[in-house]
DNA sequence: CTATGTGAATGCTTTCACAGCA
DNA sequence: TGCTGTGAAAGCATTCACATAG
């Protein structure tokens, strides 16, 4: 297992979702052809992406949906739940705390804010704590991933405290590029960047066509 | 202007943010070197990315911050505000409606839901309407971009209605790959996909190292 | 005979070295 | 002289053709 393109991993997430959907609909067998249609990539791509990690199908037949689903969950680390905490309980942090979408694969185990007026609040039955408590709470509640929902200018200092506290992954909603040691995984999920690209593509339909197909 | 890598446009958004920050701090002159440090890419990359669109600097000197900022805003279409509507006023839609981050470059002009019990609600002084009104409201309020915050299984039908209503860009928060005509720009911003990649990278630090650096 | 898995070819994107200009 | 702007080289990701296994 070597030299996996980073983009392939994003596509694995898509394949997993399609498989979960197929399984929910009672479909037992699929093919690279069917997966490629749903994911809007080529069948070559699907097979190549899977081949980076192993051989999960049967030649001449295809893939068994629950088998491949389990394998992808295993690869992506979604066969277990991950402990998650949110730092920054402003509007965005509060909205995310109440968002039920995390629940399938993640477990919200802590909320933090520097602002003492926020410390009275509680979400999902868990009280918002002072940022000073981060290292202790991360250790006690076995939290692995931290979500940053603070303004851009304090995002880096929050990231530093997360790393010092032993968190191994950061989900960054602030519109800045974080500097972290390479053993810490960071994913930037600020959706306003997406909106910016969108307006560009609306302005430049011809250029977009050239790039996409 | 031809053959711009899609990734370059994402980086342009980052450069713009850095420039806005520099300008706010009163800095008037910068260089590809400085921009590259902040954005965590190489200086070659910064210059190449800019060169796809034109020549905005002065050889031997560098870039004038407000000039380059304006040029990038122009390229990305962020020298004007874009009309935006949200379809799906569940938890996520409501949280987004209250999120102030849109305001700099976008103007929330409409909210829609199929559920009639939601039609009494109002956000930012705008009432939530029936989805049937989408085409009329889009035309009347000159809305260009639609945000999908509905469950995965109704996302495609909402996208179809958005396209029929004349929207030219879609920001998709549902965890599905939308099928749209190529003249419509779609950006997938579901952050749970990011969380999935994150858990993979935590599981596979060695592989991540190979891919990133 | 069918659909997977994969080495090799193609086509992008990034990197580089240096030409071009203040 | 210094830093930008860019054609050419190197490095990656995607596509393809076909060998392989059921």
Domain segments of chain B as ranges: 6-76, 82-193
Each residue of A171-182: pLDDT tens digit?
999 999 999 998
Nearest Cβ partner of B183 from A169, A170, A205? A205
Q: How confident is the model at residue B1 (pLDDT cuts 50, 70, 90)?
A: low
What is the C-alpha to C-alpha distance for residues A132 and A187, in angstroms, rounded to an integer?
24
Q: How confident is the model at residue B212 (pLDDT cuts 50, 70, 90)?
A: low
CATH number assigned to the domain covering A6-76: 1.10.10.10
Supply B174's token pair: 């549902």
Q: In 3D, which of B148, B135, B144 has the Cα closest to residue A205?
A: B144
- Grouping H, G, I as helix, E, B as strand and the rest as coil, residue A106 is strand
Tokens 């479909």: give the residue.
Answer: A27
Whole-structure pTM value:
0.95
In chain B, what residues touch A101 (CB-CB under 8 Å)? 92, 192
Residue B206 has pLDDT above 90, yes or no: no
Each residue of B153-201: pLDDT tens digit?
999 999 999 999 999 999 999 999 999 998 999 999 999 999 999 999 9
By DSSP bridging, strand B63-64 and strand B29-30 are: antiparallel
φ and ψ at B143, to 5 degrees? -90, 135
What is the C-alpha to C-alpha distance for residues B167 and B173, in angstroms, rounded to an integer?
16
Burial label for B108, CB within 10 Å (0-12, 13-18, 19+), is: buried
Sheet holding B145-148, edge to edge: B122-123, B126-130, B106-113, B82-87, B145-148, B169-172, B185-188
For A86, B144, B192, the CA distances from B68, given in Å and listed in that order, are 35, 26, 34
Q: Whose C1' is closest to the CA of B45: which nucleotide? A: C14
What is the C-alpha to C-alpha distance for residues A86 and B96, in angstroms, rounded to an integer?
17
Supply A79's token pair: 């066969």
Each residue of A118-170: pLDDT tens digit?
998 999 999 999 999 999 999 999 999 999 999 999 999 999 999 999 999 99
Domain with residues B82-193, CATH architecture: 3-Layer(aba) Sandwich (3.40)
C-beta atoms of A198 and B98 within 8 A: no
Nucleotides of chain D touched by protein CB (<7 A): 1-7, 12-17, 20-22
């Amino acid at each position: 297992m070597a030299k996996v393109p980073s983009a392939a991993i994003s596509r694995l997430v898509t394949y997993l979702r399609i498989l979960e959907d197929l399984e929910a609909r009672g479909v037992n067998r699929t093919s690279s052809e069917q997966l490629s249609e749903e994911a809007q990539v080529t069948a070559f791509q699907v097979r190549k992406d899977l081949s980076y990690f192993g051989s999960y199908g049967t030649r001449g037949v295809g893939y068994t949906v629950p088998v491949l689903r389990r394998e992808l969950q295993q690869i992506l680390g979604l066969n277990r739940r991950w402990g998650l905490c949110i730092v920054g309980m402003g509007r965005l942090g509060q909205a995310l705390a109440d968002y039920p979408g995390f629940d399938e694969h993640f477990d919200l185990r802590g909320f933090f804010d520097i602002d003492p007026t926020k410390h009275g609040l509680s979400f999902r039955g868990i009280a918002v704590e002072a940022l000073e408590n981060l290292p202790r709470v991360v250790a006690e509640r076995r939290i692995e991933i931290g979500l940053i929902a603070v303004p851009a200018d304090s995002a880096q200092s929050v990231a530093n405290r997360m790393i010092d506290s032993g968190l191994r992954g950061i989900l960054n909603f602030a519109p800045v590029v974080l500097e972290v040691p390479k053993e810490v995984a960071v994913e930037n999920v600020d959706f306003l960047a997406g909106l910016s690209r969108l307006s560009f593509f609306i302005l430049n339909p011809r250029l977009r066509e050239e790039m996409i197909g």
